[in-house]
Amino acid sequence: MKTKQIKTLDAFIGTILIPVYETNAKSIVPIEYHGVTVSSKVFYGKKDTHYLVDKYDCTHIFIGLGKEIDYKSIKTIFRRIASKQKEVFGQTVALVFPDQFKADEVEAAVSGLILGTYDLGHYKKNEAHPFANENFELKYIAKGEIEEAINKGIKIANAQLETFNLVDLPPNKVNPKYLADWATQAGKKYGFDVTVFGKEKSTEIGLHSFLSVGKGSANEPQFIIMDYKPEKAKKHIGLVGKGITFDTGGLNIKTAGMVQMKCDMAGAAAVLGAMQLVSDLQLPYRVTAIVPACENSVDAHSFMPSDVIQSYAGHSIEIIDTDAEGRLILVDGLSYLIKNYQPETVIDLATLTGSVVGTLGYECAGLFTNNQELSQKLQQSGDAIGERLWQLPLWDAYKSDIDSEIADVKNYSGKPVAGAISAAKFLEYFTEDHKSWAHLDIAGVAFGDSEFAKTKHATAYGVHLITKFIENL
């Protein structure tokens, strides 16, 4: 996408986007811009409404913002306009930013427009959105210089679009090798180092818990390490993302809902997207990220309930349920990251439990940490952009839920309650008492509804949240 600031629409021909704050529906004063008048009886700026007028060789789209706006609402409004009004957009669009818009609101609007180009029909012969054309130019009218905010909005959207694709593409396309190849190419493009361990190397260094999960799959597990190292980095952040590219449940096979299990690598996709965005924005922080990627499939080699397996940390694990597999790959990722890279702060993201969905629904992710300063910073970052978090307890009273009589720890409590908490306690056991670790259970927010399709699809939750958190350090 090309962008250009203009001062007037006098010679402009194309589509004009005119955001409007909500006015009194009973007002006799019409909304007017560029010689076009709209009666408040038909349009008064109500949130999520719009009104089209063709005049002066232009299509004017008046966009309702509502009375009170925030980052998420602006982004959603512009995303919907771009998606639903695809047929009226040509090669040239002008966006008239309200004088009241701040930099982050400009960023949200531009980001939303680009996200609205997303097409879930990857394997359909659909016509590409006009915005997706490399010759497309977004012209804009604004008070002051806002180019930096526009460019940032574009980069955020590009990273989130990549995350959409990673999660929404089918599992016969996105396997562990696909994620490793994506990371390698992104590293070359955006400037971060990538190392990938296959089965042989993972076995050699002792990633036994990770390897156990992938034993039933024909696709070789990939342990992906990414390292963004800017000069004079201020701090060092570590990320781990759960990369189960498809989850059958293993021998404890799922009885329902398996069709959506391609999304069980949404934590990995969020980490991959965050690595792209952090490096694209050239943030002055070192970020080391690990994505343990594998499939939880079924064959004669699959790991079994009641198995006792080893881990990179040296702790033995009793397998109670093979469908509690995500935590098994995460613990080797966490242990390897902490031991070999010593980041000051560690955050993992995973579609880990259905329990967190039962607790929090689909509006926010579960946050687990014993570091209240870290909790506050993560929640503030999420609130600013509409990717909310809610802290849940990590008390030692729950530790007994994962006690095992035969091994150091068991991978599943077997209880119908507090599943998200016991899963977090399991992860905590492998963090070696790290003073600044947080676990984000994103099972309820990684896959959701939108204007793109009738079925659920990727939300890219976590990409911007993690980047915002790092920016604010």
CA 251, 170, 244, 350 dihedral sign is negative
CA distance 336 to 45: 53
Q: Report the alpha-carbon distance of residue 356 to residue 422 in Å, rounded.
A: 11
- Interatomic CA distance for residues 332 and 310, integer angstroms: 10
What gap in Å lies between CA 62 and CA 53, rounded to an integer? 8
Sheet order of strands, 317-318 included: 308-309, 317-318, 409-410
Q: How far apart are CA 100 and CA 19, in angstroms?
A: 11
Rounded CA-CA distance 449/100 in Å is 30
Question: How many C-beta neighbours within 10 Å does residue 457 have?
Answer: 18
Could you tell me which of 91, 186, 204, 103 has the C-alpha nearest to residue 137? 91
CA separation for the pair 81, 68 (Å, rounded)? 19
Please answer whether residues 333 and 430 qualify as being in contact, where contact means their C-beta atoms are separated by less than 8 angstroms. no
Active site residue 254: yes
Q: Are 104 and 71 in contact (CB under 8 A)?
A: yes
Length of the chain: 473
Considering only CA atoms, which of 181, 223, 185 is closest in space to residue 202? 223
| DSSP code, position 458 | E
User: Annotated catalytic residue: which of 215, 327, 425, 468?
Assistant: 327
What does R_g of the chain's alpha carbons equal in angstroms?
Answer: 24
Cα 34 to Cα 12, 58, 62, 173, 251: the distances in Å are: 11, 10, 11, 48, 65
- Looking up tokens 């929090």 gives 360
Q: How far apart are CA 28 and CA 31, in angstroms?
A: 10
Choosing from 229, 254, 377, 388, which is the catalytic residue? 254
Beta bridge partners of 386: none
How far apart (Å, rounded) are the C-alpha atoms in residues 201 and 32? 66
Count how many Cα atoms sit within 13 Å of the Cα of residue 15 in the half-sphere of its side chain. Answer: 23
| Residues labelled catalytic | 254, 327
